[in-house]
Structure 1
Amino acid sequence: MSGEHDYFKSDQPMELKGTLFDRYLHEGYAKLAKKEDYEHDFDDVEKFQNRSLRAAEGQLVSPEELSARNLPEYSVDELSSARARLEDAFYAGASLKMPETAARAQVMFDCWMEQQEENIQQHDIDECKNGFMAAMAELESKPKTTQPTGPSYTHSHDHEHTHGPGSCVDHTHEVAQPAVAACPSPAKHASPELAYRGPYIIFFELDRADITSDAQRILDTVVADARDMKPRRVVLTAHTDTSGTRSHNEALSQRRAQAAARVLRAEGVEVSEIRASHYGESRPRINTKDGVRHAGNRRVEIDFEW
């Protein structure tokens, strides 16, 4: 292995292309890479340096998956819970609302994962873990905000209706065809004449990941709005209802996210601008008992980040 000189060519001035969150990720991973280089852990130097460079380019860099590390069995539940907390924070918009703290939480989580895999010095494990916990405490202490009420537009069915803050369409009964909606939200773009119409929601038929004609029309709107408003990233989160097993729904929501992302890419949204996550049945819009078919929960939500 050739050492620090080859790894840290990125110390030279470079153009950072991502969001504020991406830039803080870039800095945090670069520091981790240098720390690992000092300890002669060259595999992790390369891994963290690669993450730093990708973040600087504005590419999506997600928290490390538990499966990427050979973790001691006793640590898996705690790390799994920690990663779920981090994903919850991102789902609530942490990377946009508190980009520096959110980036620190992700970097410290990956640091914790790396040190836990080595499982040599408890001090190093605790340093990364405590850094993660402190960042998460900041993220989770922020008051939660709700979307304001206002008119929404839908491809409607007779038994759908709009209701309170944060919701677009309430499917109180099973419907033959899924609905599509765009929810009101404050304009986030600097140009006052461009009113942000998201977050957008497309719905799916039971146990399907096909893009319907209604969903396609909404995706066309997303593409047009993205072209006009030029967000840094288009964020997709995919979901299912509670019918079927959890493992089946996890895979189904992933296919739905991929289907929506494919359409956006085909219509001109760059791959690096799309963040896609899938949550299975764990985040319903409409609370139901387990095993319930509900069209309002079979969806992909689409939002912009600046």
Structure 2
Amino acid sequence: MMIKRLTSPLAAVMSATILAGCANFPTAIQHGGNPFTQPFTYEEAQGLQASGTDFKSALIKEYQALATKEGVVWSDWFDSDFFARKAIKISEADGIIGPEDPANWRFTTEELTQFAESRQQLLAALNEGVGDFPMEAAKAQASFDCWVEEEEEGWQNDEIAKCKDQFAAALKVLQGVIAEKPTAELDMAKLYTVFFDFDSAEITSVGRLVLQALVEDWGKEAVTFELTGHTDSAGSKSYNEKLSLRRAQAVKSFVAGMSVAESKMTTAGVGETSLAVPTADGVREAKNRRVVIEVK
């Protein structure tokens, strides 16, 4: 016999007392939290301050939010306690406390298969991203744990889907920023970036200075220039693809006007598919409106 959601800590105590004689009732739920300790762990977790690494601080905030959602919003003090205790454990640990292993939860072998690949991808991304992208890494890990908790609970299909979708989106963002990270072998002196005003392909006064420096550095060398235009996420994808290409072509025309052969330049527009600063759809972000020139 199993009761997963209780309306309050008091109700949790009463239910546990009533069912104490039932042999199948788990008096200490391994991963669902403990309603007897909830008033203490929740308050302690909410009082935690940012400490340690940026990833650790971001992770604590994510689990604080999950504890609040489960307890205050849903009155699910079992799982509120679980997330609160995990926040406390993270704050006290010297190392990194990773995402949940679904094998330790109440899933059948068949149910576990849906998590296997996702968790493997998450661990790989965390291994590369916790240092450079702590906010994105924390969001991905906490979203995964949210999915595990809701899936095990198994009755709020909309919440299961919401947590699963949030995890997929967070993992995609984390993998994206990792992929964009320059490798150690990349010569940053061969990269130049020109930024643009919103919904514009006109080169600004600052952009002209960047391109003048580019030509001074490389204009007479036996090199080629790869110009890639980008946009932020405001506007439709099809429009942004065209705008990003117009930006790359504007840079090409300006550089050609300084006696650099057009045959040395290639242009491409990738729209909003490679954001320098990850954002939600429809967000105006100046650092994403750019043309990146790579000297090869």
Q: What is the TM-score with the length of structure 1 in the denominator? A: 0.44
Larger Rg: 2
Higher helix share goes to which structure?
A: 2
